[in-house]
């Protein structure tokens, strides 16, 4: 090695020591091996913030966390062709409809509201449906209903349990009231035409099936089930236009992308199951520690999300040969149980 190379290396080392900054790991293998040498079951968990916690420099820890989240969300800064077509489909058919039903996820009422939809349907009266209300904190949902009802063009906000059909009759009565309003001002009488919009996997198809009283739209717990435009008729003669879920080109706030992924609006493999499970455990450990502790029978909740993840794996027996922790299985279990409401009624976004 040349003298110049040695000098540069020493200078870099001196700077690192002076600032007490520890380099961030690039993979979950590097992260987990710091705590459990030779005990990493997968090597694609791109986490950096946990190594930074060993630094005495709080700014370094914060920067590491921010860079890690940005790196993850950069993976989902997309705009697939089918979503571009969905935007065009909404724009083309908007003139033909009288009312827009926007469905959002009660657990993430802000993150699941697509700002592009706001722009596209501006000027049309709107009913906002807080879907999956049975999975969210009831008190928080009530606060969000009050908050969202103040939006421009919003006629009303309703929380619905799309699995049980609770409050569907109230929504139908609201639609009948909109039909009456239209008939009073329009000379040509015809059934109300309604467009349903929302992000992927937010429950549009389940809502349609409740409104029509039959299985008119395919449902599933994965994003992207609805593939194209569907005009459907309600029993009262109203016409309903379903559209595929639409995301937007870039998530400016990394937390929005994570929230959507937690709730299944972005496919798990785009970010990575282990990354996603680890981030969710971190959020739950901070905001809902008692629920996390009770669900997984943990003795205590650590400030260290990786330690909580390890303890969950041990409690569930997610251990591979050689006493290695199965992080993939642990992450998937936590994600599935959160999405199914088994951990508890959880809202990730709160009215400020």
pLDDT digits (tens, 9 = 90+) for 155-180: 999 999 887 777 888 999 999 999 99
Instruction: Return the residue matching tokens 């969210």.
Output: 136
State residue 66's pLDDT score.
53
Which tens digit of pLDDT belongs to each residue from 60-105? 545 555 555 556 655 555 455 556 777 787 888 888 899 999 999 9
pLDDT at position 143? 97
In whole angstroms, give the CA distance from residue 157 to residue 113.
13
> Using 50, 70 and 90 to split pLDDT, how confident is the model at 6?
very low
Domains identified in the chain and CATH numbers: 17-76+252-339 (1.10.1580.10), 81-242 (3.40.50.300)
Q: Phi and psi of 198, rounded to 5°?
A: 165, 170
d(CA 164, CA 9): 64
Q: Residue 2: its pLDDT value, please?
A: 47
| pLDDT higher than threshold 70 for residue 292 | yes
Q: Which pLDDT does position 247 carry in this prediction?
A: 74
pLDDT(235) > 50: yes
**What band does 215 get if pLDDT is binned at 50, 70 and 90?**
low
Q: Is the pLDDT of residue 239 over 90?
A: yes
Q: Per residue in 22-69, pLDDT tens?
A: 344 444 444 455 445 444 444 445 344 344 444 445 555 455 555 555
Amino acid 77: pLDDT: 52
Check residues 116 and 279 and name the one with the higher pLDDT.
279
Residues 6+ apart with CB under 8 A from 9: 1
Q: What is the pTM of this model?
A: 0.76
| Count of CB atoms situated within 10 Å of the CB of 159 | 21
| Strand positions, DSSP E, 44-182 | 99-105, 126-131, 154-159
Output 316 or 256, whichever has higher pLDDT.
Answer: 316
**What phi, psi does 67 have (nearest 5°)?**
-65, -35
């Amino acid at each position: 090695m040349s003298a110049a190379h040695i000098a540069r290396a020493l200078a870099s080392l001196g700077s690192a020591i002076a600032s007490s900054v520890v380099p961030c790991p690039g993979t979950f293998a590097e992260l987990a091996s710091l705590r459990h040498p030779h005990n990493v079951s997968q090597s694609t968990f791109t986490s950096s913030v946990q190594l930074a916690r060993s630094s005495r420099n709080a700014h370094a820890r914060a920067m590491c966390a921010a860079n890690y989240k940005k790196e993850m969300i950069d993976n989902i800064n997309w705009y697939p062709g089918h979503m571009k077509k969905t935007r065009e489909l909404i724009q083309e058919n908007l003139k033909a409809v009288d009312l827009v039903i926007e469905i959002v996820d009660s657990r993430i009422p802000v993150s699941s509201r697509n700002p592009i939809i706001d722009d596209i349907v501006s000027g049309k009266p709107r009913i906002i449906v807080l879907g999956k209300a049975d999975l969210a904190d009831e008190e928080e949902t009530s606060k969000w209903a009050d908050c969202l009802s103040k939006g421009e063009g919003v006629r009303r906000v309703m929380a619905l349990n799309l699995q049980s059909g609770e409050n569907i009759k109230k929504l139908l009565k609201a639609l009948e009231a909109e039909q009456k309003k239209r008939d009073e001002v329009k000379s040509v009488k015809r059934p109300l035409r309604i467009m349903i919009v929302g992000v992927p996997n937010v429950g549009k198809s389940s809502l349609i099936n409740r409104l029509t009283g039959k299985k008119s739209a395919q449902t599933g717990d994965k994003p992207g089930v609805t593939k194209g435009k569907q005009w459907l008729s309600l029993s009262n003669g109203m016409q309903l236009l379903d559209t595929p879920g639409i995301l937007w080109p870039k998530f400016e706030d990394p937390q929005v992308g994570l929230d959507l992924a937690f709730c299944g609006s972005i496919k798990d493999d785009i970010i990575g199951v282990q990354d996603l499970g680890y981030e969710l455990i971190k959020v739950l450990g901070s905001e809902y520690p008692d629920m996390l502790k009770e669900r997984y029978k943990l003795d205590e909740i650590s400030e260290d999300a990786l330690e909580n993840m390890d303890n969950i794996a041990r409690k569930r027996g997610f251990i591979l040969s050689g006493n290695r922790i199965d992080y993939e299985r642990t992450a998937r279990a936590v994600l599935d149980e959160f999405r199914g409401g088994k951990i508890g009624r959880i809202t990730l976004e709160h009215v400020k």
